[in-house]
A and B are shown apart, each in its own frame.
Chain A
Amino acid sequence: MTTTSRPPEVLRAPLVVEFPFTRSLGPVQSAFLTGLRERTVLGVRTTDGKVLVPPVEYDPATADEIRDLVEVAATGTVTTWAWNPRPRPGQPLDTPFAWVLVQLDGADTALLHALDAPGPDAVRTGLRVRVRWAARREGAITDIACFEPDDTAPGARRPAPHAGAFDDPVTGIVAPARLDYTYSPGAAQSRYINALAERRTVGERCPSCRKVYVPPRGACPTCGIATDEQVEVGPAGTVTTYCIVNIKAKNLDVEVPYVYAHIALDGAGLALHGRIAGIPYDQVRMGLRVEPVWTDSPTGGRFPDHYRPTGEPDAEYDTYKELI
């Protein structure tokens, strides 16, 4: 394996987007999930008498509000399936299993879940299965650990009416969402970011309107033309406008109040954003001349930590009013 000391042409890095969303369940899903906690599988009867498992709040055919809950069996029949040879993290089983649609005895629709089976040869449409309950249940679809083969005959069981009332019902769930991306800022921004590592701010000029874009996006958004001429801007610039932030932001190690400013670096066609320090926050003003302060801290990254006054006289309003 060879290595190269040259920076890659285009930067890449992992981006994980992850958040635990909460969900209020409403009456039907609340009864369904609480029922699972109590080893009871509930469905809902539609206007024309079909039993839907899992239940829904509104009739897919008539759009009627449906609240007529019924209990169905914990045994059923596989209506179709697909073998999953390589389970991914977070799936119901960590050994190979079958995804199955199971029509529970008493239900008219099928429920998607996992079937624990030794191999695809052991699975077929029409296979009889039963719920394997999780040892610890909390009111979630995972209270059904999975399905497993069963030798009971198909039941002619009629679904029994159920009030859906349980002690201490589950009213909400937390649904973690996670997306894994490989992020690339593209060639133009890679050039910009790599120049920042050398403490230079390099924009790109539009060949048509002659404006210098910082950061560059590879094309001028106004003219729609590729930008390729690189132009170093700054290092000093002018505060075009700002606000004083009095709310402490999460994950930002800066004491409040601080000044968040739009700064037009000399030669740039538009302002970028940065923090102003080295001056009391209440003395910052539009037109203030500033310069970047770079730090060597590992978290300082490639961007200036903040901007500080240069000591020059303030810029005249007319010189930057078009950049606000």
Chain B
Amino acid sequence: MTDTTKTTHKEPVAVVGIGQTKHVAARRDVSIAGLVREAARRALDDAELNWPDIDAVVIGKAPDFFEGVMMPELYLADALGAVGKPMLRVHTAGSVGGSTALVAANLVASRVHGTVLTLAFEKQSESNAMWGLSLPVPFQQPLLAGAGGFFAPHVRAYMRRTGAPDTVGSLVAYKDRRNALKNPYAHLHEHDITLEKVQASPMLWDPVRYSETCPSSDGACAMILTDRAGAARSPRPPAWMLGGAMRSEPTLFAGKNFVSPQAGKDCAADVYRQARITDPRREIDAVEMYVPFSWYEPMWLENLGFADEGEGWKLTEAGVTELDGDLPVNMSGGVLSTNPIGASGMIRFAEAALQVRGQAGEHQVEGARKVLGHAYGGGSQFFSMWLVGAEPPTR
């Protein structure tokens, strides 16, 4: 045992393998087993590992009603090489991809397992999220507006609070869709995208336009997490987890701040404390954040401490969050370009890890050393985040 071990309570966690499917509207050529297998196999190949090298499997997916798969941990065990190993499932609505990665990371950090495969997926083409969110519960008023209608009033509240010009959302969408062109795994590749087209797209839930909303995607994302010994054997540079946290709060309560939920602030603060970040704006190089509707970029910039309250939109407007900006956000194209709901959070975490490993290809941020991955879900009530770095944690 080294001195480092004596002074630390947790095993450092490294990401040594990342795999994604090419996200598309419908993968009719594969079963759900075939879809998750494809991502898992790519993650293993990236790590130059094989099924026997995996000690446990942690899987996450969207709420059961979305696609009618009630026990993915049972049904997908053979596709993920989990037979004879521990396998468990995580469930935190839209943030699940992030929470799943963190549960897997904690198994390594606690030295319960050495190398863990974690995976999240969604086949939206074979499910119905709108239906799953609007079950005809007796005595309750029918939901009047759908998912976009749930979030659009909070966007309006943000605009009112901050005085942000109403074009900011279109800038985010235009940026993310252009970034997606540099990411071969992104779902939407809109080669002829222009800012004018975004701004001329139909208003669905005013103030949210069609081009400012996420698509419905089929896709899976997998990561191989391991300890220091595993990282030492890694053929490619690992990404190191410097901090990770989850927080939750009720959907509705008196005093809930939908624009900037307290659970999100607390979650970020916990991650920064673990990673010894005191000035996220200066110390963090880039962010993959969960932005299903364009306006959530400036909203989360404030919630995550990258801007003071009321100032997030100014970073977006000034181009700070562009791929070549000072704080790039959603280099991969983000949820706005790719949304297999259950996997979307893990894609944020994986894309953050790709950046600090220097493996992000055309959407690589030069010199990215510390990158935040962020996910949220439910009625802005579940948050999960991790900060990954190119160097292992120092304590």
A contacts, CB < 8 Å to B: 11, 13-15, 17, 19, 21-27, 29, 56-63, 65, 171-172, 175, 177, 183, 185, 189, 193, 206, 209, 211-213, 220-222, 240-247, 249, 251-252, 254, 257, 260-262, 269-270, 273-275, 286, 301-303, 317, 321-322, 324
**Complex Cα spacing A252 to B149, Å:** 14
Give 9 closest A-B pairs by Cβ, nearest first.
Answer: A63-B81, A26-B31, A243-B152, A269-B254, A13-B138, A211-B254, A244-B206, A21-B68, A63-B51
* Nearest Cβ on chain B to A276's Cβ, whole angstroms: 11
Most chain B Cβ neighbours within 10 Å, of A206, A209, A220, A244: A244
A-B contact pairs, 26 of them (CB 8 A): A21-B67, A23-B31, A23-B126, A24-B28, A24-B32, A63-B78, A175-B68, A183-B137, A185-B140, A213-B254, A222-B253, A241-B153, A242-B156, A243-B149, A243-B153, A244-B206, A246-B206, A249-B144, A260-B144, A260-B153, A270-B256, A273-B144, A286-B160, A302-B139, A324-B161, A324-B258
Q: Tell me which of B103-111, B127-135, B173-181, B356-364 binds A.
A: B127-135
Q: Is the CB of A209 within 8 A of B254?
A: yes
Residues of B within 8 A of A247 (CB): 146, 148, 204-205
Q: Are B131 and A324 in contact (CB under 8 A)?
A: no
Set A17, A209, A240, A252: member contacting B144, Cβ < 8 A:
A252
* Contacting pair B83 A63 (CB below 8 A): yes
Which of B127, B154, B253 counts the most chain A CB atoms within 10 A? Answer: B253
Complex interface: chain A residues within 8 A of B31 (CB): 23-26, 29, 57
Contacts A171-B28, A262-B153 supplied; 20 other A-B pairs, CB < 8 Å: A13-B138, A19-B128, A25-B31, A26-B33, A60-B77, A60-B78, A63-B81, A185-B138, A185-B139, A206-B254, A209-B254, A222-B253, A241-B157, A246-B203, A246-B204, A247-B148, A247-B204, A273-B144, A275-B144, A324-B157
Q: B65's closest neighbor in chain A, by CB?
A: A17
Shortest CB-to-CB span from B220 to chain A, Å, is: 14
Which residue of the partner chain A has the closest CB to B253? A221
A44 to chain B, nearest CB (A): 11
Instruction: List residues of chain B with CB within 8 A of the CB of A172.
Output: 28
Q: Could you say which interface size class chain B belongs to?
A: 35 or more
B320 in contact (CB, < 8 A): no
Any chain A CB within 8 A of the CB of B29?
yes
Asked if B252 contacts A19 (CB within 8 A), the reply is no
For A211, the chain B residues whose CB sits under 8 A away are 254-255
Report the minimum CB–CB distance from B41 to chain A (whole Å): 9
Contact assessment for A26 and B30 in the assembled complex, using a CB-CB cutoff below 8 Å: yes
Contacts of B125 in A (CB 8 A): 22
* B229 proximal to A (CB < 8 A): no
Contacts A211-B254, A273-B144 known; A260 to B139 CB distance under 8 Å? no
Query: How far apart are the CA atoms of A189 and B142 in the complex, in Å?
Result: 16
Q: Interface residues, chain B, CB within 8 Å of chain A?
A: 27-34, 37, 51, 65, 67-68, 77-81, 83, 123, 125-128, 131, 135-142, 144-146, 148-149, 152-157, 160-161, 202-208, 250, 252-256, 258-259
Are the C-beta atoms of B78 and A58 separated by less than 8 Å? yes
- Complex contact B128–A241 (CB within 8 A): no
Task: Answer whether A24 and B250 are a contact pair too, CB < 8 Å, given A15-B138, A244-B203.
Answer: no
Inter-subunit contact B160/A270 (CB<8 Å): no
Query: A66 CB to closest chain B CB, in angstroms?
Result: 10
Which listed residue, B27, B123, B139, B259, touches A324 by the CB 8 Å rule?
A: B259
Chain A hits for B34, CB < 8 A: 26-27, 57
Closest to A64 in B: B51
- Chain A residue numbers with a CB within 8 Å of B146 are 247, 249
Other-chain contact of A58, B33, B155, B160 (Cβ < 8 Å)? B33
| B257 to chain A: closest residue by CB | A324
CA distance A11 to B157 in the complex (A): 36
Shortest C-beta distance, A238 to chain B (Å), equals 13
Contact of B149 with A22 in the complex, beta carbons under 8 Å: no
Contacts of B149 in A (CB 8 A): 243, 245, 260
Task: Find chain A residues with CB under 8 A from B135 CB.
Answer: 15, 17
In the assembled complex, the Cα of A283 lies from the Cα of B157 at a distance in Å of 17
Note all chain A residues with C-beta closer than 8 A to B203: 244, 246
Given A222, A245, A324, which contacts B205 in the complex, CB threshold below 8 Å? A245
A206 to B252 Cα, complex, angstroms: 15
Q: Check B254–A222 contact: CB distance below 8 A.
A: yes
Find chain B residues with CB under 8 A from A26 CB. 29-31, 33-34
Report the nearest B residue to A27, measured CB to CB.
B34
B137 and A15 form a contact (CB under 8 A):
yes
Q: CA of A257 to CA of B51 in the docked complex: distance in angstroms?
A: 54
Q: A222-B253, A286-B160 are in contact. Are A61 and B27 (CB under 8 A)?
A: no
Q: Are B139 and A243 in contact (CB under 8 A)?
A: no
Q: Return A269 CB to nearest CB of chain B, in Å.
A: 3
Contact of B157 among A14, A171, A240 (CB under 8 A): A240
Q: Are B145 and A21 in contact (CB under 8 A)?
A: no
Chain A residues with Cβ under 8 A from B33's Cβ?
A: 26, 57-58
Closest beta carbon of chain A to B252's beta carbon, Å: 6
In the complex the two chains form, is A244's CB within 8 Å of B144's CB? no
Contacts of A275 in B (CB 8 A): 144
Q: Which residues of A lie under 8 Å from residue B155 when comparing CB positions?
A: 243
Chain B residues, CB < 8 A from A183: 137-138
Q: How far is the CB of A318 from chain B (nearest CB, A)?
A: 12
CA distance A257 to B203 in the complex (A): 10
CA distance A212 to B207 in the complex (A): 30
Shortest Cβ distance from residue A135 to the other chain B in the assembled complex, whole angstroms: 28
Cα separation A301 to B128 with both chains bound (whole Å)? 27
* Most A-side CB within 10 Å, residue of B123, B144, B152: B144
Instruction: Quote the shortest CB–CB distance from B152 to chain A (angstroms).
Output: 3
**Docked CA distance A27–B31 (Å):** 8
A87 to chain B, nearest CB (A): 23
Alpha-carbon separation in the docked complex, A233 to B83 (Å): 57
CB distance from B263 to the nearest CB of A (A): 12
With A26-B31, A270-B252 already in contact, the answer to whether A58 and B79 are too (CB < 8 A) is yes
